């Protein structure tokens, strides 16, 4: 059974271009999970302070999540440059 209230499958992970504080990763995740961006930002800060994984996770998100309006992430662009531009 499917419900119309669950749009999580329809919204792709995309870094926000309008609601960003650094690179738009937290706002993009919040969009996908339908939560407030401040909650995701707080989670990154807590993970950074207690355990030290918040910053690496944010960087991974920045590398792997495409920006709104694009289907290509930074990691994919870098891989294409390394590969000589072959598709």
> 70-73: which pairs have CB atoms within 8 A and are 24 or more residues apart?
70/14
84: left (phi over 0), alpha (psi -120 to 50) or beta: left
Closest CA relative to residue 24, chosen from 38, 9, 14: 14
pTM reported for the whole predicted model: 0.74
Sorted by where each begins, the domain ranges of the chain are 25-82
Give the tens place of pLDDT for each residue, 13-62: 888 888 888 888 999 999 899 999 999 999 999 999 998 899 999 999 99
pLDDT band, residue 9 (cuts 50/70/90): low
């Amino acid at each position: 059974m499917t419900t119309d209230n669950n749009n999580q499958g329809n919204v792709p992970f995309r870094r926000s271009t309008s609601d960003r504080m650094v690179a738009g990763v937290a706002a993009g995740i919040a969009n996908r999970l339908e939560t407030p961006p401040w909650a995701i930002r707080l989670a990154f800060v807590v993970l950074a302070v207690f355990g030290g994984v918040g910053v690496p996770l944010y960087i991974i998100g920045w590398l792997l999540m495409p920006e709104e309006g694009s289907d290509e992430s930074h990691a994919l662009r870098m891989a294409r440059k390394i590969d000589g531009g072959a598709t």
